[in-house]
Amino acid sequence: MKGNEVIAEAAIKAGCRHYFGYPITPQTEISETLAKRMPKVGGLCMQAESEIAAINMVLGAASAGKRVLTSSSSPGLSLKSEGVSYIVGSDVPCVIVNVQRGGPGLGGIQPSQSDYYQATRAMGHGDMHIIVLAPASIQEIADLTMEAFDLADIYRTPVMILADGALGQMMEPVDFEARQGREIPEKTWTACGHKNARPHNIVNSLYIEPEALEKNVLSRFERYKKIEENEVKYESYLTEDADIVVVAFGIAARISKTAVTRARAAGIKAGLFRPVTVWPFPSKQLLSLSDTAKAFLSVELNMGQMVNDVKLAVECRRPVEFYGRTGGMIPTVDEVYDKIISMSKSL
Amino acid sequence: MVVFDKPHALTDVPFHYCPGCTHGIVHRLVAEVIDELGCEGNTVGIAPVGCSVFAYNYFNCDMIEAPHGRAPAVATGVKRALPDNVVFTYQGDGDLAAIGTAETVHAAARGENITIIFINNAIYGMTGGQMAPTTLPGQVSTTSPYGRDVKIQGNPIRICEMLSTLSGTAYAERVAVDCVKNIKNAKKAIRKGFDAQIAKKGFSIIEVLSTCPTNWGKTPEQALEWLRTDMMAYYPLGVYKDKTQEEQ
């Protein structure tokens, strides 16, 4: 199945029955698939008038207690930014998909990873985080999309699937049944009509008194601490004895893995560390790798964004280099391999 | 024996509105309608950004605070999630007629079964009196200190007239709260909007000509008079669309 279609199918499997979105290349198949599938499962796939309207419809339906999905690509995420901040500040769960394309501005429609900073640093104004999951295969898209709905409900936060145009269009086999769902707390906070059985619920992000707003933000950051302690996901490939650890996520990790395998065949002790959660970032694991590794190489489809998280994680104990292409260009295995070789020469 | 009381749909939280502000009247009318319909337990209200941003503290039903202008989209999400609930928004000039115009127009175009209470006081209140899309030609505001110049700023927008052109709009009426007769009529209109929603007739909007004495630089009485002489001339009261008696 194609990546975009898998997102749609996985959402339905996770019990999502409300999707709001707007067409934008390269992710429009998500809403086209849901337009066909949702009516068949008693759900709603609505094409909103804009990405702004869509994220606000998400706020409404999720405040009413539903599992809700929206998807877009890079420029559309910029439009959603205000809505995401309100959703975070109101502690409302939802799942947001970014199938990244080249930027900035209208940019291009080919794959990129240049929204990493936006996703992990600036998805909305204010002190906030969202959980960001970075799949690197079609099976992982299925698993992480289903996991995203659980994480969102458990922690009352937006969860993003940070994909790219290549993953969206790729086709690989997928099994939707393998994953175990998680236990979800009851949603007692929703704006769904109090039925005269409880005081009215208010879903809101306005705290006009600074003391109250600080308290509200601090309590949200307590939840972020729990997420950092419990939800970090990553994959290691040949890192235990690696001199050069390549760090990459998503499509860049697929390319880097092949380059690492080829480097090993050429006698270079290379390895791949693949963050699956880019927020929370697997900092602890990278820090302990810096005991044994001699250097790190961040490979990305951008001008160097995750590389700075790698530097922070290893506390600059080791050299951290970067290789990337941007604008929709995809690094080749040869390019990454050549970079590993040149790094190995100066170790 | 109690002959007059606060509606149950209003909380005990004191309003923060200025002396002479008509928000208080309209809040009461909406709450009385909710009480009469007995639907408080089934209602979700969407609060705007503006002077009435704290509406979520004043109404006793479940409430959601929306980003500026986005209330009709938030209401759409709620209503599509819970079609049997009563969903209303309460919005001012900037919220509905400036930043939120697209969300307003498209909720109406889709015929969303929601009810919008639109407070038109021809100015931005909360942020201190700037020009609104509904500010009248020649009207002074902090961002039109020499009076609104239509050559630079265009003419004000008549929302009821505009939305009435959309087939999804089932009911659009403009009312005022400047005197007892008009207040009674405004309440009837609000009730009609809620009835239309419950009968699944489509989108309803009640535009309420209101005063803002503080930012108009007038006394409450002068403000009411200006509403009658100037606002009603540009924004005539009346029903602009009524499909509520039609069969589906």
CATH of residue A295: 3.40.50.920
Chain A residues within 8 A of B60 when measuring between CB atoms: 200
Chain A residues within 8 A of B63 when measuring between CB atoms: 191, 200-204
Candidate from A177-181, A276-280, A286-290, A337-341 with smallest mean pLDDT: A177-181
When CB atoms are compared, the residue of B53, B63, B80 closest to A46 is: B80
Q: What is the mean pLDDT of residues A299-328?
A: 98
Distance from CA of B60 to the nearest CA of A (A): 6
Structure tokens at B32: 């009385």
Q: Is residue A202 part of a domain?
A: no
Q: Is residue A254 part of a domain?
A: yes
Place of tokens 């100015």: B123
Q: Are A1 and A171 in contact (CB under 8 A)?
A: yes
Q: Is residue A127 part of a domain?
A: yes
pLDDT at residue B6 greater than cutoff 80: yes
Q: Rounded to an integer, what distance in angstroms lies between the CA atom of residue A224 and that of residue B170?
A: 46
Interface touch B77/A194, C-beta < 8 Å: no
Q: What is the pLDDT of residue B94?
A: 96
Report the chain A residue with the minimal C-alpha distance to residue B79: A61
Q: What is the pLDDT of residue B246?
A: 87
Interface test with B, best of A204, A207, A208 (most B CBs within 10 A): A204
Structure tokens at B100: 């939120």
Q: Is residue A198 part of a domain?
A: no
- Judge residue A144's burial from the number of C-beta atoms within 10 Å of its C-beta, 0-12 exposed, 13-18 middle, 19 or more buried: buried
pLDDT at residue B39 greater than cutoff 70: yes
Same domain, A267 and A185: no
More confident residue, A17 or B246: A17
State which of A181, A199, A230 marks the end of a domain: A230
Same domain, A225 and A304: no
A302: Cβ–Cβ under 8 A, 6 or more apart, which residues? A112, A113, A114, A116, A324, A326
Q: Rounded to an integer, what distance in angstroms lies between the CA atom of residue B130 and that of residue B145?
A: 9
Q: What is the pLDDT of residue B248?
A: 64
Q: What is the mean pLDDT of chain B?
A: 97
pLDDT at residue A263 greater than cutoff 70: yes
pLDDT at residue B186 greater than cutoff 70: yes
Q: What is the mean pLDDT of residues B213-242?
A: 98
> ipTM of this predicted complex?
0.96
Same domain, A101 and A84: yes
Domain ranges of chain B: 23-242
Q: Rounded to an integer, what distance in angstroms lies between the CA atom of residue B132 and that of residue B121?
A: 9
Q: Which domain holds residue A80?
A: 3-189+219-230
Q: What is the mean pLDDT of residues A64-89?
A: 98
- pLDDT-derived band of residue A278, with 50, 70 and 90 as boundaries? very high
When CB atoms are compared, the residue of B62, B76, B78 closest to A201 is: B62
Percent of chain A with pLDDT over 70: 100
- pLDDT-derived band of residue A179, with 50, 70 and 90 as boundaries? confident
Same domain, A263 and A167: no
Q: What is the pLDDT of residue B247?
A: 77
Q: Total domain count for chain A?
A: 2
Same domain, A49 and A176: yes
Same domain, A226 and A341: no
Q: What is the mean pLDDT of residues A118-137?
A: 98
Q: Are A213 and A207 in contact (CB under 8 A)?
A: yes
Q: Are A115 and A98 in contact (CB under 8 A)?
A: yes
Same domain, A176 and A29: yes
Q: What is the mean pLDDT of residues B62-87?
A: 98
pLDDT at residue A294 greater than cutoff 90: yes
Same domain, A240 and A181: no
> Among candidates A111, A139, A145, which has minimal Cα distance to A15?
A145
Specify whether the backbone of A70 is left (phi greater than 0), alpha (psi in -120 to 50) or beta: beta
CATH number at residue A57: 3.40.50.970
Q: What is the mean pLDDT of residues A304-333?
A: 98
Report the chain A residue with the minimal C-alpha distance to residue B102: A49
State which of A202, A230, A258 marks the end of a domain: A230
Residues B23-242, CATH architecture: 3-Layer(aba) Sandwich (3.40)
Same domain, A157 and A262: no
User: pLDDT tens for residues A132-151?
Assistant: 999 999 999 999 999 999 99
Q: Rounded to an integer, what distance in angstroms lies between the CA atom of residue B131 and that of residue B149?
A: 11
Same domain, A183 and A115: yes
Interface touch B73/A52, C-beta < 8 Å: yes
Distance from CA of B52 to the nearest CA of A (A): 13
